[in-house]
């Protein structure tokens, strides 16, 4: 089924953007896991809408309600079901879009796939709002990975439009320093001047009734060597399966044809002089920082008038999309991307 993923831990998502709630089920979590609900909510807050001028004005608290599989502060081992209620629906914004296919959206393909019965309001089940359950599961996975393996996951905005952040040497980077620098930034970049220019690019796009895309760089540190398998269950295949499940992603994992030269350091530990392959070789982690980049396309919902079709009246029409939309989705995508890495690693490492 398209809304279920995983083997060791089955992850199912449900809901629509303008339905009463969205949520999911995690089946296979180990019993006895303590869940830090404050940390989970902090991760949810990073993704939720309506926090600054760069995101949609839709206001959602994104409070997670756990319905089962959690007792006295710990997982029971039975399916953990949770919901996130939708509180700020304005479905009237979409009344005129039932038959008018928004360019760049899944309106037409969703209409075909579900024979016209799909909930089209705000994209329905195709909406980026459905990434909120990803972040919940990702927060659970991050806790497990940190407590059992010391794995740290952090991300940054690598570029917005044609403005790029500084190049980062992942091999010499201190993950704790990166976390300290980036985790509390609402707009996490390494170079402040680059961040200022990126914000201007977003403002310019919004003022032109348009939108802009960008690139997220995600980094995982202290990942054991030997995680993953060749070919179909390669570590990059597992991660990319999740990454391409996130709406608006249009890029694969980072890498190149360059070889990473290995050597032994003074303490006899195997090291590498470069990390062009992003910490994965032959589908298996090599002990170096796991790094990938994801490109996000510009938000397709824009106020600028566009040409489209009215499938009810069978005619060409002009469309100006109303409602509340992100001029750039990248800042809110960071915790979603991190969650994809955490979920993929948990799938590989959970016993």
Sequence length of the chain is 351
The CATH class given to the 4-349 domain equals: alpha beta
Tens-digit pLDDT profile for the chain (351 aa)? Answer: 478 999 999 999 999 988 899 999 999 999 999 999 999 999 999 887 666 666 666 667 889 999 999 999 999 999 999 999 988 666 666 667 777 777 767 777 788 788 888 888 877 788 888 889 999 999 999 999 999 999 999 999 999 989 999 999 988 888 889 988 998 788 999 999 999 999 999 999 888 888 888 999 999 999 999 999 988 889 989 999 998 888 766 544 333 335 676 777 888 877 788 887 788 766 678 788 888 888 887 877 777 888 888 888 888 888 877 665 678 888 888 989 999 999 999 999 987
pTM of the model: 0.82
Q: Reduced to 3 states, what is the DSSP secondary structure of residue 300? A: coil
Q: Quick one: pLDDT at residue 24? A: 97
**DSSP count for the chain of H helices, then E strands:** 7, 17
Residues 256 and 145: their CA atoms lie apart, in Å, by 28
Residue 53 labelled as part of a binding site: yes
Q: What is the pLDDT of residues 272-314, one digit of tens each?
A: 888 877 887 666 787 888 888 888 878 777 778 888 888 888 8
Residue 298 labelled as part of a binding site: yes
Residues 345 and 145: their CA atoms lie apart, in Å, by 8
C-alpha 317, offset from chain centre: 34
Boundaries of every domain in the chain: 4-349
Residue 269 labelled as part of a binding site: no
Residue 47 labelled as part of a binding site: yes
225, 285 contact by CB (below 8 A): yes
Residue 127 labelled as part of a binding site: yes
CB under 8 Å to 332, separation ≥6 — which residues? 46, 47, 48, 49, 55, 326
Residue 331 labelled as part of a binding site: no
Residue 30 labelled as part of a binding site: no
Residues 346 and 33: their CA atoms lie apart, in Å, by 13
Residue 99 labelled as part of a binding site: no
Instruction: Label each residue of 228-257 as H, E or C.
Output: ECCHHHCHHHHHHHHHCCCCCECCCCCCCC
Q: Tokens standing for 8?
A: 């060791």
Residue 308 labelled as part of a binding site: no
Residue 282 labelled as part of a binding site: yes
Of 187, 201, 128, 177, residue with least CA distance to 157: 187
Q: DSSP alpha helices (H): ranges in the chain?
A: 37-47, 107-113, 132-149, 175-182, 192-207, 235-243, 330-349
Residue 238 labelled as part of a binding site: no
C-alpha 87, offset from chain centre: 22
Of 291, 140, 138, 290, residue with least CA distance to 223: 290
Residue 324 labelled as part of a binding site: yes
Q: Reduced to 3 states, what is the DSSP secondary structure of residue 6? A: coil
């Amino acid at each position: 089924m398209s809304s279920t993923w995983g083997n060791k831990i089955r992850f199912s998502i449900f809901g629509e953007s303008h339905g009463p709630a969205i949520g999911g089920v995690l089946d296979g979590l180990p019993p006895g896991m303590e869940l830090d609900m404050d940390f989970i909510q902090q991760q949810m807050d990073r993704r939720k809408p309506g926090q600054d001028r760069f995101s949609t004005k839709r206001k959602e608290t994104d409070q997670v309600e756990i319905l089962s599989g959690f007792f006295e502060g710990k997982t029971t081992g039975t399916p953990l079901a949770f919901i996130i209620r939708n509180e700020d629906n304005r479905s009237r914004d979409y009344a005129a879009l039932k038959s008018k296919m928004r360019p760049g959206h899944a309106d037409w393909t969703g209409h075909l796939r579900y024979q016209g019965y799909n909930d089209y309001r705000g994209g329905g089940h195709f909406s980026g709002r459905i990434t909120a359950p990803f972040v919940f599961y990702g927060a659970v996975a991050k806790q497990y990975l940190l407590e059992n393996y010391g794995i740290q996951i952090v991300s940054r905005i690598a570029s917005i439009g044609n403005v790029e952040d500084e190049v980062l040497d992942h091999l010499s980077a201190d993950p704790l320093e990166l976390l300290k620098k980036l985790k509390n930034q609402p707009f996490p970049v390494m170079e402040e001047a680059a961040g200022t220019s990126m914000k201007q690019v977003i403002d310019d796009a919004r003022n032109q009734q348009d939108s802009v895309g960008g690139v997220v760089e995600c980094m995982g540190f202290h990942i054991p060597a030997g995680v993953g398998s060749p070919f179909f269950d390669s570590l990059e295949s597992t991660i990319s399966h999740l990454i391409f499940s996130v709406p608006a992603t249009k890029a694969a994992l980072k890498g190149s044809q360059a070889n990473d030269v290995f050597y032994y350091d003074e303490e006899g530990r195997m090291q590498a002089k470069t990390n062009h392959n992003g910490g994965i070789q032959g589908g298996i982690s090599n002990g170096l920082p796991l790094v990938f980049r994801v490109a996000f396309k510009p938000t397709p919902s824009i106020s600028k008038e566009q040409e489209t079709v009215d499938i009810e009246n069978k005619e060409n029409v002009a469309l100006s999309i109303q409602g509340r939309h992100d001029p750039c989705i990248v800042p809110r995508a960071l915790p979603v991307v991190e969650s994809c890495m955490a979920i993929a690693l948990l799938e590989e490492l959970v016993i």
